[in-house]
Chains A and B, each alone.
Chain A
Amino acid sequence: MSARWEGILEQLVQERWSSLLARATLLAATPSEAEDLVQDALVATFSSRARFTTLAQAESYVRRAIATRSIDRARSAASERRATDRVAVRPQRPVETTLPGLEVDVLAALARLTPRQRACVVLRHVEDLSVAQTADQLGLSQGAVKRYTSDAASALQRWLGTTTDPEVDDHDRPTVELVDGRSTTKGDRS
């Protein structure tokens, strides 16, 4: 018989692995680092003081841990090498993701950002967290979150060929328009 946390961890891995890996992929520079990030987040989560009664609770916790640890790991200059080396010793290397063109470009663009920029832009634009919530979650100042988010969004727009609204003064939430016309933004384009 295994402990209750082990059952939840195993269920989480079996049922939500790809979802967690996808989130980590947005936040990591490489596929190997993404898998490492999920593993670290699982360890941190189930070593914490949280008492999980549902899978959803555990998944929510792990998702937050993935974001925060993507920042923490960046503190060490060796983190990327560590991730690569660590995965390399496993029996099976992580699978390179096969995606349509646009998503590949997005991942490539994200990989060019710093870990903090990636975390900020994902939490702000995917999780829809506020500046304050993002700052608290990542342990950054609100000013830093605004700066990282703005820089990241601008860079992504530039690299992906999107445009932004120059009238938007809330530069922490820039609006973008995709060049393929799938999305629109308000105001004039420049």
Chain B
Amino acid sequence: MSDLGQLLAATETAVARARSAETPTPDALAGTLRRVRRRRAVRHSVQSMAGVAVVGVLGVTTWLSTHLTDPPIPATTTAPTASPAPTTTPRPTPPAAAPAVPAVHVGTPLPLPDGLIESSTAGWMLVSDVQSRTGVDPYAATPDDYRTLLLLVSPTGERYPVLEVVSDRMSVGVSRWTAGQPMVLASSSDGAAAEQEDLFGTLDLRTGDLAPWTDLPTSTLWIGGTRDGATVWASPQWDRTEIPEGTVPMPRNVLGSQLRMTEFTSIVFHLLVREADGTQRDLGPIDDSRYVTSLSPDGAWVSATAPGGELLLVDLRSATRTTVSTVPPDRTCTVAGWSGPHQLLLSCGTPADLLAIDATTPSSPPRLVGTSEHRVVDATPIGDGRVALGIVTQEAPCDGGGDPAVLADGVVSPLTGEWGPYDHSTFLRFGGGAVVTELNDCYVGHGRAGRQRTVRTDLTTGEVTELSVLEGEVTDDGWDRSVWGWLVGQ
């Protein structure tokens, strides 16, 4: 340490000593806790919705709700011989004959260039930007001091505000959007409610009206959607009185990287399929203890953890549940995502062997498709024979997300060549030939970390486009960007 450093350090020590008896007032600490809780709630409801259409992320309709009764549970078949055994065929529940529910106006449309929504293509993003008025005292803020904008952001970073969320709604989260379409699967929470209660349904970007889906059980979590319009959900079975205050009741792995940073309470969930016509099917319990719950790219399979802890594959068409016995028992294997339309990718050990299991023939031995120096997460095929994925290069507490890479011909190649030496991803999503990542929103504490920002990295060229800083930016009209989430259009 230099002499100047010694002088500064001595001053720092003197200040610490002089104020050693101080702690914040209870009110100040309570205020800090409230601010963090609000941000975590907003991030949870906004960003956790932001998944690609075919990879499991979450949506929350209502949470902390009342006790739900257990529906019939289909039998689970262990398949040591690995031939999928048809099990109880769940009886479809016809569409609820609930009275028509009027649309809820959740956002005010903002002027847009003609045809902008319709001309957006894969790789455009829908962004929820939660802002607070510059200079406002957060301890005395009112709802008018916060606003949420829903924006379209082009692959080159141009922003187009689409909706301003009305003031009595806390946020709008988007979970599924096909670029070029004005209709979005979305949720919105009531900002005035004592407990967060999200309303799930179809949001029209042109009007700001959300048509609620009232037939879904309360507190249902979004897993993914299929091309034929069906949606897949995890329905929690809980008694709210058992939920510790301040925790988020949801499965550990349903949300992939989202949930890896979230406090949770372990809960039994049921896998639920809602067809395009509203018909629902309960495909039985799923556990959250080990294997990520995610929907295959072809929309036909869901991976999960069987109640006994084994890897579970559920055929959504036949409701067949198969436990996979071919996972190497002597390795620590996690679900890394999907390497093909129905090829589940496992990441086993560190360095990791990447093993592919064909969901249609789960009894076949897993096939080694590559190796990686680091554990792999969030794998998804990108249509050109390559598999995009995240490699977990950071240690705890920053091991919730991975740096982007591609798997081709058995080789994992990082896409971080144009990143800074201390840049690391904390959240990533693929779409439109690129990967969008949040950088450096977690710091391992080594004194080395890049600047927080969100970037788009081309999956072929590695070219980097900076989209925005995450926090701290002040808009021209006097608002601080705070927490925001995004969804890459497919």
Contacts and interface: CB of A to CB of B under 8 A. Distances in A.
Nearest to A185: B3
B8 A26 contact: yes
Nearest to B12: A22
Contacts of B399: 51
B464 to A, nearest CB: 15
B75 interface: no
A170 to B, nearest CB: 11
A175 B474 contact: no
Contacts of A97: 15, 18-19
B33 A49 contact: no
Nearest to B43: A47
B472 A103 contact: no
A174 B4 CA distance: 8
Chain B interface mostly: loop
Most buried by A among B24, B31, B40, B438: B24
B116 interface: no
A17 B396 contact: no
B6 interface: yes
Given A39-B32, A139-B451, A183-B3, A49 B19 contact: no
A145 interface: no
Contact of A61 (B134, B261, B421, B443): B443
Interface stretch (B53-61, B135-143, B160-168, B228-236): B135-143
B401 A49 contact: yes
B245 A2 contact: yes
A21 B22 contact: yes
Interface residues of A, number: 90
B2 interface: yes
B263 interface: yes
A144 interface: no
B27 A90 contact: yes
B102 interface: no
Contact of B422 (A26, A56, A133, A156): A133
Contacts of A102: 7, 11
Interface in B116-140: 134-135, 137-140
A167 interface: no
A125 B32 contact: no
B130 to A, nearest CB: 11
Contact of B32 (A43, A65, A107): A43
A100 interface: yes
A49 B442 contact: yes
B134 A177 contact: no
A98 to B, nearest CB: 6
B29 A13 contact: yes
A49 B263 CA distance: 11
B427 interface: yes
A159 interface: no
B447 interface: yes
B5 A126 contact: yes
16 contacts: A1-B245, A2-B244, A6-B33, A13-B32, A50-B441, A51-B260, A51-B399, A60-B443, A64-B447, A75-B472, A95-B22, A97-B19, A124-B5, A126-B1, A137-B447, A173-B2
Given A106-B7, A110-B8, A184-B3, 6 more contacts: A21-B22, A49-B400, A85-B137, A95-B19, A106-B11, A133-B447
Interface of B: 1-25, 27-29, 31-33, 35-36, 39-40, 43, 134-135, 137-140, 244-247, 260-261, 263, 396-401, 420-422, 426-427, 438, 441-445, 447-452, 471-474, 480, 483
